[in-house]
Amino acid sequence: MTVVLPVASGKGGVGKSILSANLGVALAQAGKTVVLADLDLGGSNLHTVLGLRNKHSGVGHYITKDADSIESLLVETELSRLFFIPGDALLPGTANLPFFRKQRMIKELGELPADFVILDLGSGSSYNTIDFFLTNSGGLMVCTFEPTSILNAYSFLKTALLRLLYRSFPAKSEERSVIEAFGNEKLEGTEKSFRDLAPRLQEISPEAAAHVEKQIEAFSPRVVLNMGRSAADLQLGARLRTISRNNLALELEYIGVLPYEEEVSRSVVERRPEVLRRPESRFAFNIHEVARRLIAAPVPNPPVLYPDNEDLKALSEELG
Ligand SMILES: Nc1ncnc2c1ncn2[C@@H]1O[C@H](COP(=O)(O)OP(=O)(O)O)[C@@H](O)[C@H]1O
Ligand SMILES: [Mg+2]
């Protein structure tokens, strides 16, 4: 069983690539076969964090069809169980990923012969990023302790939840219109929340209402707080849980907190993952804790999603 594990964040520079690389090493050290895929299209730099040379074909070549399969992109690393899929640093300009290519890519990533396929995603809430994030109902959200990082993480989760619910119903359905209208209403600072969505769908059908409730309940992103400086910071980190619970009806799980350590920045300059460079550090210890929790609960069931109208749009583009 291959577990695809997306790593996302609302804001850039919060440590997605650092977490992805070090988690990949920790999971491999724990005996798992791991693929690290650089999906930060337009900003690929995971090879740097891993200390690999930027010379292999990557996802950019797959998108342009210069490479036939995702599996053909696998690159070995210094760890026998850790493999790497480069991004689009060598062949950029592919941030616009056609819908059918993306669907096929998601399928192929899930079929790689590995225990974990970690997706190091780009920052922000573009639909491509969100669709990769939704491949696992328990995807990882990286967030730091700055208020803007927390608010951006909240916005990301809200956009992801709306898209998840929207794509839970077929194109042109009445349910989609209701969900879209709901998405345009303001929740923050009001009594309203995603709990109000199911009753509105009840008017269409009890099944639709029940389905929405089920999908919200099954959506359980897991948060890794990064760059913690003191225990008092955790209070701020908990804010993401409170606003997500109040407005989105989501129960977030926190599966790790990583300390701010200056040496981590140095590991990027030295191009060697911190878990290998300083295995005795607090940072490395906490990464291994996250790995241990993921092995115990990989959340392998992706939600079933209909395409947006992108399938139709893509087909119309094929018509020229
Ligand atoms: N725990 C940490 N302690 C110290 N610095 C960190 C830590 N995590 C990340 N950084 C710094 O933040 C920078 C950005 O991290 P990166 O993983 O590239 O972010 P992202 O992929 O989210 O854009 C790193 O180059 C590193 O200097
Ligand atoms: Mg990154």
The number of folded domains in the chain is: 1
Buried residues in 88-102 as b, exposed as e (16+ CB within 10 A)? bbebeebeebbbeeb
**Ligand 1 in contact with 265 (CB < 6 A)?**
yes
Between vectors from CA 102 to CA 99 and to CA 106, what angle results, nearest 5°? 145
pTM for this structure? 0.94
- For ligand 1, pick from 7, 149, 265 the residue to mutate: most ligand atoms within 8 Å of CB: 265
> Ligand 2 centre from 9 Cα, in Å?
10
Instruction: Report every protein residue that has its C-beta within 5 angstroms of ion ligand 2.
Output: 16-17, 40
Q: Which domain holds residue 182?
A: 3-318
By CB atoms closer than 10 A (0-12, 13-18, 19+), residue 79 is middle
Question: Which atom from ligand 1 is nearest to the alpha carbon of 283?
Answer: 1
The tokens of 54 are what? 């930027």
Q: How far is the CA of 303 from the centre of ligand 1 (A)?
A: 30
Per-residue pLDDT 10s for the chain (320 aa) are 899 999 999 999 999 999 999 999 999 999 999 999 999 988 899 999 999 998 999 999 999 999 999 999 999 999 999 999 999 888 775 567 888 999 999 999 999 999 999 999 999 888 899 999 999 999 999 999 999 999 999 999 999 999 999 999 999 999 999 999 999 999 988 999 999 999 999 999 999 999 999 999 999 999 999 999 887 788 888 889 899 999 999 988 889 999 999 999 999 999 999 999 999 999 999 999 999 999 998 875 556 666 665 655 655 565 55
Comparing CA positions, the residue from 200, 107, 138, 177 lying closest to residue 6 is: 138
Is the CB–ligand 1 distance for residue 258 below 6 Å? yes
If we measure between CA atoms, which residue out of 94, 112, 159, 138 comes closest to residue 302? 138
Strand ranges of the sheet holding 222-228, from the earlier edge strand across to the other edge: 75-76, 82-85, 34-39, 116-121, 3-8, 140-143, 222-228, 253-259
Which CATH number fits the domain that encloses residue 180? 3.40.50.300
